[in-house]
Structure 1
Amino acid sequence: MSSNGTEAAIQAQAESNPHKRPLQNSPHGKQAQKPSKRQRKKDKKHIVQEGSHEEILLTDVQNLLASLKASDDAAPTEDGVSETTTQETALPELGTELELEVVELSSTGDGLARRKGVPDEKHVYVVPFSIPGDVVKARVVRHHLEEGYTAADFLSVIAPAPYRDDARIQCQYFGRCPGCQFQMLSYDHQLRIKREIIVKAYKNFSELPPELVPTIGETIGSPLQYGYRTKLTPHFDGPPGMFRKNVPKKPLQACPPIGFTPKHSRTVLDIEDCPIATEAVSEGVDCRAGENEDGSSPNENPAVPAEVECQPGRAKDVLVRIDTPSHVDFKTCITDQKAPATEWIDNFRFTSPAGTFFQNNNSILSPFTAYIREHILPPPAEGQKPIRYLIDAYSGSGLFTITQSSLFPGGSIGIDISEGSILYARRNAAANDLPESRCRFVAADANELFKSVSEYDPDETVVVLDPPRKGCDGNFLRQLLRYGPRRVVYVSCNVHTQARDVGVLVRGVEGVKRRYTVESIRGFDFFPQTGHVESVAVLNRVDE
């Protein structure tokens, strides 16, 4: 059995101005400039999104500042009485190079540091590519005065932390490309950090007392730590005026840099190879090199990398061949976002448009879906009905609906707002020989989800949630509580919004009697070398 699917899609995203302004952009000192009227208007409208990188960083900075203040308040003076230092230390001008001591790691993957030799400064410096214990040289980029921190660019390591080993780094762009933060760490250490990220998420965002949050399990690692990522989204700068209406578009005179935009920069970093990408994707990233298929040079035809087609019998077009016990899979690289991309999870085959969401680390999907299978059913309990039904909210192309369907004799239903995703989910069910009586899909807004499953007895039902990074909205959580399924398995790529939502399900909401307890929480490392971690929380309904 062979697959003519793709290993990944490389989506080229044209950006006329990829740089986004932060909440505060006013430097401190002589270089301070008065913000423009347009900028003041933008800043006034800025709202920090729940669960965003910005909110997570601000929370960690504020917690560190509070601990520093508490430490200073508790420090006795020579006469034995504690006092607080009120003198304000002037911040360095933009562009200043500093020596910083990293004291903590933010859940964003950035180091939180203090200026070396300035112990009285109540200010935090945020430095990427650094870890606690490092002394680093960094350049001041931007002061966020109201938030109490300064963004800085990493320059070099002056004195490494004991567990930092730069010999582990496998990427020539590390320290400039924003994609990875942890290549200098052992993989076991990375997994410990990711467990701590989940611990902090529930401490800071769930609003639950510690006794209601179970001990976070050890993070389950990825079988591949490099060469795992099946999709990348490189950027490039389009020609001038490309987004202006009624303006003639000027063609590019040469192939632009294609890659990723470093922090605090407007310039795309040209990437020829990405070691966390699969072999097929790496070939696609660098396929602009050499001659085009028509014999012309890339500079004569500057465009997004061309799609590499793969068909049975055309071995010259096959980039990577994967042999498994059950099938042979030909991995190719495509750039057409609408083209079908196929992945195998054990004996399950999934196809979806390359530009839509599918998990980006195929190597961990087998142990991941096995873990869900082991935990999706509650332990047998006397007097309780057996579980018969599965509701897969935010089902996408059917990952959980299909892989878990054998456990539910009454049937599984996947629900998603995207009709396109539902179309592919139905095709995937058919491709895996699952009749509609066992596995069906409905296109519906999640806020109207439970109208589609009125025939499912909640005492016999498990709900799987896998929402986007923003998590579930309040209306959906209220609906879920009203329906009251026996068990909920919450899968999330953003443990902070997961913690917020789980807190709602445990506390309950006014006017609804249902609530839940948390049985277990465990992380999965879908993105080794980075600060990202996924989490699975298992909840049981409280029957009072």
Structure 2
Amino acid sequence: MAKQTAPVKKNETITLTFEDLTHEGNGVGKINGYPLFVPYALPGEAASVKVVKVNKNFAFGKLLKVHKPSPDRVKAPCNVYHKCGGCQLQHMSYDKQLKMKRDQVKNVMRKIAHLDHIPVHPVIGMEDPWRYRNKVSIPVGEKDGELITGFYQKRSHRIIEDMETCVVQDEVNDRSIEAVRRIASSLGIKAYDEKTHRGVLRHVMVRTGQKTNETMIVLVTRTQELPHKKELIKELTETYPHVKSIIQNINDERTNVILGKKVKLLWGEEYIYDMIGDIKFAISAKSFYQVNPPQTEKLYKQALEYANIDHNDVVIDAYCGIGTISLFLAQKAKKVYGVEVVPEAISDAKKNAKINGITNAAFYVGEAEKVMPWWTAQGLKPDVIVVDPPRKGCDEELLKAMINMMPKRIVYVSCNPSTLARDLCILEDGGYATQEVQPVDMFPQTGHVECCSLLVRKDK
């Protein structure tokens, strides 16, 4: 039998018409049924494409020239959009982004979960899908004796030097990064060099409370001491009164991980504060806190609506983090039990409960899949379980523990539609029926989409 060969060759230039989008937002065109995936291309467009990689079943291309632009094509406002890779969809109208994300969720519900009949609602988007991120971590480098800051270019560790602003970041974060770079450079503080493992300043991280306007600056260093820290702190705090906290994080490892284990308070408070709805949160340097609070509020309102809890209900919040969902649930429930594997997060959750005067939420350190069977053995019977796992989805043992607890309802919050669909299959087999899925756009201009799903026990 003759070996089948691809209908295109590497470095060949072809004309292609695009008919679909991948879940990352790449255009899909086909030659005799053979798909080519091309970033920045949109359905309906005809374009010249250079083939850059050829596999047996598909190829990747580079967009050279669009001959027939889609009505959904817009000019990206970011001047480094094609270099950076942090955003993937700035060339696409926002309405089209929301439609693409809904289609993505519908597709995985059909192909992976086999739940064609389940309503997937239109994506809840933002009125203004720019400048929404409340946290940024920027690497620091050096050129001609001056410090430079900027995201890495796609698939590299080269800093984008001409990056003046980031259009999805809070403007306060932009200004704070620029201030640290300028002041540290004038003081002669050296950037970390990952090749030689020398130098001082590795990253600058900035967190901003969007409701409180409080800012935390985290200086990630290789060294135990930060040179000229008094002068740096003086100039930052005198010039920028919104800065409430300056932290040093020490990371002396040869690693791509941004934060190290040791944290030192250099000036101000250990925490800044922000609000989601009417709940106040203390945010430390290493806290997990949602980067888009306005959309988080919409997501949590949906979770609360699906949970449909009253003052007699007992609720479990698995992967509770710093208690963000738990404290919303506690406003309605009789009792909320939160579980999280990260001890610092549980410490923050307890602090947040105290700040808000919430006494009916209890938080425990541990792996949810181990803690929940223990709770069952103690006689705990939840009415509702809310779960918000990382991108890899729920551990299978956790899904079994949820099924064994037999709550009336499960609310599954997910940042990865594919693992959500996989886990819904297991919960469906365990006696639960998926009722509906509500996608929420937490990260405009990117391919990511969050979902909130409601499951009800079938015998109910």
1:79-118 per-position Cα deviation (integer Å, ceiling 9, x unaligned): xxxxxx9974553234x4443322210012211123xxxx
Matching residue within 40, 44, 49 for 1:129? 40
Q: Which amino acid aligns with 2:404?
A: R
- Corresponding position of 1:228: 132
**Correspondence list, 1:451-530, <5 A:** 451-454=373-376, 458=381, 461-508=383-430, 515-530=431-446
Q: Could you say what secondary structure the match of 2:339 adopts? A: strand
Query: Where does 1:281-360 land on structure 2 (aligned, <5 Å)?
Result: 281-287=173-179, 289-292=181-184, 295-296=187-188, 303-304=201-202, 316-319=239-242, 336=249, 338=263, 340-360=271-291
Q: What's the counterpart of residue 167 of structure 2?
A: 275
- Cα shift at 1:230: 1.6
Q: 1:126, 1:235 → 2: CA distance?
A: 30
The question of whether the paired residues in 2 share the 8 Å contact of 1:340 and 1:353 is answered with yes
**Higher RCO (C-alpha 8 Å, min separation 6):** 1
Q: 2:314, 2:375 → 1: CA distance?
A: 10
Report % sequence identity. Answer: 25
**TM-superposition CA deviations, 1:490-536 (whole Å, max 9, x none):** 0011111011101110122xxxxxx1011221100001111111000
Q: Of 56, 62, 78, which aligns to 1:153?
A: 62
Given the two structures, how large is their TM-score scaled by the length of structure 2? 0.78
Are the counterparts in 2 of residues 492 and 534 from structure 1 also a CA contact under 8 Å?
A: yes
Partner of 1:417: 341
Query: Does the residue aligned with 1:100 lie in a helix, a strand or coil?
Result: strand
In structure 1, the gaps of 5 or more residues are 1-84, 239-250, 320-329, 381-385, 509-514
Tell me the secondary structure at the aligned position of residue 217 of structure 1.
coil
What residue number does 2:109 align with? 202
CA contact (8 A) 1:273 1:285 kept: no
SS in 2 for 1:220: coil
Measured in 2, the distance between the counterparts of 1:216 and 1:334 equals: 43
Aligned equivalent of 2:20, options 99, 104, 118: 104
- TM-superposed deviation, 1:421: 0.9
**2:93 aligned residue:** 186
Q: How well do the aligned residues superpose, as a CA RMSD in angstroms? A: 3.3
For residues 48 and 83 of structure 2, the distance between their equivalents in structure 1, rounded to whole angstroms, comes to 14
Residue 225 of structure 1 deviates from its aligned partner by: 0.5
Shift of 1:165: 2.6
8 Å Cα contact 2:101/2:447 also seen in 1: yes
Structure 1 residue 289: deviation in Å?
4.8
Structure 1 pair 306/189, CA: closer, same or farther in 2 (3 Å)?
closer
Conserved? CA contact 1:284–1:333, under 8 Å: no
The match for 1:446 is 368
| Counterpart code for 1:357 | F
Q: Which aligned segments of 4 or more residues in structure 1 are displaced greater than 6 angstroms?
A: 297-302, 307-311, 330-335
Partner residue in 1 for 2:228 = none
Unaligned stretches of 5+ in structure 2?
193-198, 207-214, 217-232, 250-258, 264-269
AA at the equivalent of 1:174: Y
Alpha-carbon distance, 1:293 to partner: 7.7
Which letter does structure 2 place at the counterpart of 1:316?
A: T
Q: TM-score, normalised by structure 1?
A: 0.67
- 1:402 is paired with a residue whose SS is helix
Equivalent pairs, count = 407
Contact 2:139–2:202 (CA under 8 A) maintained in structure 1: no
Q: Is the 8 A contact 1:305 1:335 kept in 2?
A: no
1:155 to partner: Cα distance: 3.9
For each residue in 1:381-435, what CA deviation from the matched residue of structure 2 results, as whole angstroms up to 9, or x when unmatched? xxxxx851110000010011111102112x1110011111111111111111112
Partner of 1:219: 123
Deviations 1:290-325 (A, max 9, x none): 3438644878987346678769x9663235xxxxxx
Distance 2:440 2:371 in 1: 27
